[in-house]
Amino acid sequence: MRKLSLLFAGALMGASAMSLVYGAPGSSANAAGSETYKQLAIFGDIFERVRAQYVTPPDDKSLVENAINGMLSSLDPHSSYMNAEQAQDMRVQTKGEFGGLGIEVTMENDLVKVITPIDDTPAAKAGVLAGDYIAKIDGQEVRGLTLNDAVDKMRGLVNTPIKLTILRQGADKPIELTVVRDIIKVKAVKFRVENDIGYMKITSFTEKTYDDLENAIDAIKKQVPDDKLKGYVLDLRLNPGGLLDQAVSVSDAFLKRGEIVSTRGRDPKDVTRFDAKPKQTDDINGKPMIVLVNGGSASASEIVAGALQDLRRVTVVGTQSFGKGSVQTIIPLGENGALRLTTALYYTPSGKSIQGKGITPDIKVDQPLPPELQGRDLTRGESDLKGHIKGADESSTGSGSAAYVPPDPKDDLQLIYAEQLLRGQKTDPAFPPNPEKAVLNQ
C-alpha cells in the first residue's frame, strides 16, 4: 500500500501556477441578463425547499459552499471556493513557513509514523526520532483520525505546548514528550553534491523557492571547485507547481536574456510577458544543466522546464509532464474566504500551450516501477481530468506519464542517465543544447 507523506505545512496546493495579484473583495462583474436572474430565482426556490423539506435538517453554510463549488468545478478542475480555513491553509503553503513541530510524517497501522524530524526544530530538540509512532496527541488517540486531522492538531500557534505519546521500538513503555511549537521553515529546494555534479531538487514553488535555490547554488559552488564541476541537475519531478512569480525567478536564474513565459487571458489583448533580466552570465556561470521531469511535474515546474528548453539552455530528460497550462488568480472574499479562479493560460517562449499536452523531454528515459507497484496505474496528466480546459496544442495522445521517483538514487535511472550525460559517459544529439537554435514565438 502506497503511503501518504507530507510536511506539517500540509499537502501542497496541487498542480497549479498561482498569481497572487489579488483582486478587490466584492469587485463587480458585468451585469447579468434577465434570464440569469430567472435561473437564480430557481436556485433560491430549491435552496429554501431543501432547507424546509429535506429528511434531516441540512447545514445552511455547507449547502451554500457546496453550491458554489459545484458551479466552479463545472468550469475546470482548478477553480474552487476556499472557506476561511482553506484560504488560510493556502496562504501557509505558499508562504513556506508555519507554526508546528518540524517532522515529516506518514500514516501506518492507524498511527502517525515519523519519517524524519527536521534538523534544529522543536521536535528534533525534544528527542523525537525517525521511526517513532505517535499514538496520542494531547491525550487524544490517533487511531480513528486521518493523517490531515492529525497534522492539523499538531500545527498551532508559536510558543504553545503539545504533548505527544510516542511508541518507540525497544522502549518498554510509551514515551511522553512535550514539544513547544515554533516557526518551521520548509525548504523548497533540496540539494547535494554528487562528486563533480551539483544536484538540486525543487519540491514546490513557494515564496522561499528562489532564495532557497540561490543558497543551494552558492553551497554547491563552495563544495566543488569551478574547474571540477561538470554541471548541474535540476530535478522538477513530482513538483506540483506553486507561485507564478517564483517560476519566473527560478527560470531567470539560469538565463542571460529572453522571454520566459507569457499569459493570455479572456480578452485577446490581455497578454502579459515575463522576460529574463539581461546579464553577462547566469547564476551557474553557464555550466551545463539537465532538467528532470515526469508525470508529477506540473504547472509552475512546466513553466521553468518549457522556458529553459525552448531557449536551448538545458536538455530535458525524463517522461511527459502533467500538462497543466492554466493560471489561477486568488481573489479574497468576505469572512476571509477566497475564490481561486482560472483567469489565464500560459505559453512557453515558442508560443506553445502546455495545457493538456505537457513538456515533451528532449531525451525520454522511462523509470521502471518496483515489484510492489507494478500493475498499478501511476500515470498523472491534465488531459485525464474531467472538465479540463482543452489546450490549443492538445492531441489525442494527451499529457502526463508515470509519477514515480525511486527513494534510493542508485535505482533512479533518469538521474543516473543525466549524470552520465554531464560526465560524458553517454552522448546524445540533444546534449549539449545549442542556444543559437532557440525556438521563439515570432
Average pLDDT in the chain: 90
pLDDT surpasses 70 at 118: yes
The CATH number given to 189-437 is 3.90.226.10
Amino acid 32: pLDDT: 65
Amino acid 34: pLDDT: 84
Question: What is the Cα–Cα distance from 292 to 363, expressed in whole angstroms?
Answer: 10
For residues 306 and 399, is the Cβ–Cβ distance under 8 A? no
Cell numbers for 116: 524524519
Amino acid 10: pLDDT: 31
Supply the residues annotated as catalytic.
299, 310, 324
pLDDT surpasses 60 at 14: no
For residues 193 and 144, is the Cβ–Cβ distance under 8 A? no
Segment 342-362 mean pLDDT: 96
Which residue has better confidence, 436 or 287? 287
Segment 392-411 mean pLDDT: 93
- What kind of fold does domain 99-185 have according to CATH? Pdz3 Domain (2.30.42)
Domain ranges of the chain: 99-185, 189-437
Amino acid 21: pLDDT: 42
Segment 411-421 mean pLDDT: 98
Segment 244-260 mean pLDDT: 97
Amino acid 92: pLDDT: 80
Question: What is the Cα–Cα distance from 42 to 37, expressed in whole angstroms?
Answer: 9
Segment 195-202 mean pLDDT: 97
pLDDT surpasses 90 at 90: no
What's the longest Cα–Cα distance across the chain?
77
